Amino acid sequence: MFRTSFKLAIFAFLALPLFAPVRAQDSAPKAESPAPANVKPYVARLIGDSVRARGGAGLAHVPVHVFAKNDEVTVWGERDGWVEIELPANASCWVATEFAQLNSDGKTYTITSDRVNLRPEASTDQSPIGQIGKGRQVGACMDGQTGKPVTSEKFVRVIPPSEARGYVAKEYTEKVREIAPEKMADKPVVKPVATPADLEDEKKTFAELKMLLKDEMAKTKDKMDLGQLRKMFEQFAEFALDEANKKEAEGIIGKIDVTIGLIDAEKKRIADEGAKAKAEQDRIKNAALAKPEEPKDVGPVVYIAKGTIGSTGKLAKTPASHRLNDDKGNTLYDLRWDGGDLSKLWGKYVGVTGEIKEYEGWPNKVIVIKRVDVLIEDDDK
């Protein structure tokens, strides 16, 4: 039953041993989905290449068939940009073997229960694509190698009966012609039958679903995962028998969407703040590791010595690489400039500031230059 299967899906989500149904079935009163728009049935042509038919009106539903360009389909309704179509014989359609009896011909099955769900794949994970009644016969899809019906676990693949429906994006169709009323007379109309037991079961399922949501909302934002619960509420709303339950579920879906948006925005804000904090930490770290620049003298200055740059005749920079000579060529001081290249100032008349030092074994006093300014180019002397 859809009710039981849906309940089991809820329990499997969080593995909560709240209730234990007697058995999982795939026969149930089909819950009424949002009705397709009231349109007259018509034939449409597919105008796109490899157009997928899906098990429901939305990309979340699995594909059940792929049409070629110019294939024609019968359209029975429209909803939310999708058209409801009758599925072709080679579309994916499955029935639970528990409710289908293989006939003596080995190629057909007889449905043994009321309102048996037709599935788009061999599982109950996706919504039904229709229902078929007790006593109906369906053809099996045969395995070309074994000559036996195609089965998978507890399901058998069948040729889609007229009750099976698929959906195609309307933008890939164009209307060809309307279907004459007399050709529609034999089409079965499956209406949902809601018994008191069904409504009570739905009420319990809805209460359990809301309890799961309450438990999830009690978690911290970093551990909260509302995506799966949203899908459960969406499926519940689509198949709700009670209109009040359906509307309440749709309202909860809207609130979940708002909450997810707020959580995502908060996560982004925290991530952005973390990135900014890390960038600031990196900046502080880099600044601490960087060698501080020595302050430079600016504006008027008092030089401790003036003269022309010459060489010491030595290649070593320490304790001095150059000399400062007076106008007669006499050495005033030896020079060392850790912040620049004195060879570029060779022969220029300069003024220097810095610290005067004496080194043992070195013939002259040494000025460790802090600032050097060219006062007269050698060509101007």
On whether both 231 and 340 belong to a single domain, the answer is no
Burial class of residue 181 in the structure, from the number of CB atoms within 10 Å of its CB (0-12 exposed, 13-18 middle, 19+ buried)? exposed
Q: Could you read off the pLDDT of 327-344 as tens digits, one per residue?
A: 898 999 999 998 888 889
On whether both 174 and 155 belong to a single domain, the answer is no
On whether both 68 and 98 belong to a single domain, the answer is no
Which of 176, 191, 206 is the C-terminal boundary of a domain? Answer: 191
On whether both 119 and 205 belong to a single domain, the answer is no
In a domain, 68, yes or no: yes
- Least confident window among 182-191, 303-312, 355-364: 182-191
In a domain, 231, yes or no: yes
Q: Domain of 333? A: 305-380
Q: What percent of the chain has pLDDT over 70?
A: 82
C-alpha closest to that of 75 among 63, 66, 84: 84
Cα 197 from chain centroid (whole Å): 40
CB atoms within 10 A of CB 157: 20
Asked if the model's pLDDT at residue 12 lies above 60, the reply is: no
On whether both 269 and 232 belong to a single domain, the answer is yes
pTM of the model: 0.44
On whether both 45 and 77 belong to a single domain, the answer is yes
pLDDT band at 36 (very low <50, low <70, confident <90, very high): low
- Distance set, CA 153 to CA 35, 78, 89, 137, 306 (Å): 32, 34, 22, 21, 101
186: amino acid identity, one letter:
D
On whether both 348 and 262 belong to a single domain, the answer is no
What CATH number did the domain enclosing 43 receive?
2.30.30.40
Confidence at residue 354, expressed as pLDDT on a 0 to 100 scale:
94
On whether both 244 and 144 belong to a single domain, the answer is no
On whether both 177 and 218 belong to a single domain, the answer is no
Which of 289, 324, 340 is the C-terminal boundary of a domain? Answer: 289
User: How many folded domains does the chain comprise?
Assistant: 4
In a domain, 300, yes or no: no
C-alpha closest to that of 320 among 358, 366, 356: 366
Query: HSE on the CB side for 62, CA within 13 Å?
Result: 15
